[in-house]
Chains A and B, each alone.
Chain A
């Protein structure tokens, strides 16, 4: 996250977070992505222990607590660096958010990912929505209520299982991505492979979010 010139002494900064000449903390550049910020390569499987250790180390470097006696310029830098660091860690810590973030970096904004139902589940989900409506309108303690509840619980289990399947598929794609990156080939075949993996990840993430929303709705309704 080094910048070319120290804000304080104007000398060239080659160190990672501090100017080597005047030892002032340097602001994290706006263009620094979260992987670079935490010192990790753009991979989708990260060791959570190593990630945490790095987060703690950098927290000790940037946290405003350690800048209370410094100049206000340094305090401001420490505050915004710590805020970036916290966002970076929060994003990379969670495998799903990490994948969404990587997709955004590689292919453009994630906000474009529309949640969509998997094609093969389309009918099933429509039916489920109807059952949910019926259940909400029914007397929970009637026989009808009990019957609907049992149906919904079965549906919940099936969807949970489907979500797990998607997550393990995602995990496989994450590994594929990492291996491709590790090989670092610049062939057209590698480019095709790269695009295929990213497309599949995007699709799966979109389906998973959709199912996850339904599951949350289900859990809240039959709780």
Chain B
């Protein structure tokens, strides 16, 4: 925040976006823009779209496995991504990106960053939110708040316009779609309803293009690009670029190099062609919009303004469809890529006690319940309930002496437990008593992050029991702790690895330069001196092959010392040579 206005911190090149790409290279992990080029050079070891894997198991992404060049496995209900020798959970990959952002902010502000507000799609379920929080912890950040992206956008928007009334925030990003309907009144931002699809975004449009191009390449050149991961990534990136260009142009050219030197594939792509492919995906965003309106008890004419967020809303067809649905042109003057971050900054300022006139009242996007007899879901907290929200449920026993009750927590809108998302299971401890006598009250509390907390109280004794919840699609507390430790350990390892790499590079440069000097000017010094330099050179070569960067630096200093005279002599010599044939007047 600067003078009551949020701003986005640029990196040292002035860029405000860090692409969420992480690459494992031979020299270690790299993140952001430099990692992007590894998408095609190193596709098996470069992760993008990690947000799609947060809080999920392998079965959840079964249909799209073919599109990802990296190797995915599952341990304990959590996807693991294999990069080189190690496997990483999505929160760990996400933490690497957060660390990168953290270091940019630290460099810019000149202070340590220890706390963060992190944004997530509004339609993220509990597991996805928890995974995001874990990522923050692993990155060494205290997560003050998980805030929904469309509501964050509304904060930035409301701050700027001091708007009153009902707004719809249509947030169509790379991987997810959200719609939130809010009432803005006297600084209160009350979310009336939210809906969405955490598996619908610009990536889906890219895939439609990729499928089209791959089919055409196969027809025209008889090559299956699908079996060349690096070229697959080129097709994907070029398809994305073509799609982006078509937001401003009516036609564009798509071109890629074919594998095995089979030449180039080029094709004209018109906006009409893109739109006829994209219409299905875009239409899928409209059903959640209607559902949110219905849940808010509103009709399109009740919406005063429509705000667009997310890169995919740059597409003219998206704007047309949104305008047709709400009956008014959407507002898109704010940069759709930055508005969410700006809103998160406003929220952080509120939490820090800076802003006191604005308050966001958000809702839980999905109904929360428990599995009851017959595999039916019994709803405890309905979707679109304002958070924090709590519900209490009394449990007892059916058998004499029973010492535990198993509880299965679910999230979703379907009747049957199996059709909803399993969040966690836990076993309620009950004192051995005749059936029906124990009375344990369980409180389900969804906090302001949209994350569930469970506590239980024995109504007979008034004692509270701590509950160890086993997440269905999440890391356990101990696993997160280990990852936090690892992350610090690896941070130290990363630094020493980088030091070694840099020392080796410097040593190589120095050795090369000294070799050259010896060849060119060895005759100008005594043979004893030359022998000294050669000895220092071989000492440095030995140190360079070992792994201690300090030893390398020390041998480098020795070599520089031994070669000092040689360099002076060489410089004199070259000056002399340079002077020959020049007039005195030219020299002075």
Q: Which residues of A contact B (CB under 8 A)?
A: 56, 59-60, 63-66, 68-69, 79-80, 82-84, 86-87, 89-90
Q: Which of B321-359 contact A (CB under 8 A)?
A: 347, 350-353, 356, 359
A residues less than 8 Å from B386 (CB atoms): 86, 89-90
A residues less than 8 Å from B551 (CB atoms): none
A56 touches B353 (CB 8 A): no
* Cβ-closest chain B residue relative to A64: B448
A residues less than 8 Å from B360 (CB atoms): 65
A residues less than 8 Å from B211 (CB atoms): none
Q: Which of B184-219 contact A (CB under 8 A)?
A: 185-186, 188, 190
Q: Interface size of B by Cβ–Cβ distance < 8 Å?
A: 24
A87 touches B390 (CB 8 A): yes
A64 touches B447 (CB 8 A): yes
* Cβ-closest chain A residue relative to B348: A68
Select one of B188, B352, B445 contacting A69, CB under 8 A.
B352
B residues less than 8 Å from A64 (CB atoms): 388, 447-448
B residues less than 8 Å from A63 (CB atoms): 359, 361, 448
A23 to B349, CA, bound (A): 23
Q: Which residues of B contact A (CB under 8 A)?
A: 144-145, 185-186, 188, 190, 347, 350-353, 356, 359-361, 385-390, 445, 447-448
A65 touches B385 (CB 8 A): no
A residues less than 8 Å from B185 (CB atoms): 56
A63 to B448, CA, bound (A): 9
A56 touches B186 (CB 8 A): yes
B residues less than 8 Å from A82 (CB atoms): 388, 448
A84 to B390, CA, bound (A): 7
B352 touches A86 (CB 8 A): no
A79 touches B447 (CB 8 A): yes
Chain B nearest CB from A32 CB (Å) reads 14
A60 to B189, CA, bound (A): 12
A172 to B582, CA, bound (A): 114
A146 to B351, CA, bound (A): 59
Known: A59-B188, A86-B385. A80 touches B390 (CB 8 A): yes
Return 18 A-B CB contacts under 8 Å, by A number: A56-B186, A56-B188, A56-B190, A59-B188, A63-B361, A65-B347, A66-B356, A69-B351, A80-B390, A80-B445, A82-B448, A83-B388, A83-B389, A86-B385, A86-B386, A86-B388, A87-B390, A89-B386
A residues less than 8 Å from B359 (CB atoms): 59-60, 63, 65-66
A68 to B350, CA, bound (A): 9
Chain A nearest CB from B448 CB (Å) reads 5
A80 to B392, CA, bound (A): 12
A83 touches B445 (CB 8 A): yes
A63 to B359, CA, bound (A): 8
B residues less than 8 Å from A90 (CB atoms): 385-386
Known: A56-B190, A63-B359, A86-B386; 11 extra A-B contacts, CB below 8 A, are A59-B188, A60-B359, A64-B388, A65-B145, A65-B351, A65-B359, A66-B350, A66-B356, A68-B352, A69-B352, A90-B386
A66 to B186, CA, bound (A): 17
A56 to B386, CA, bound (A): 12
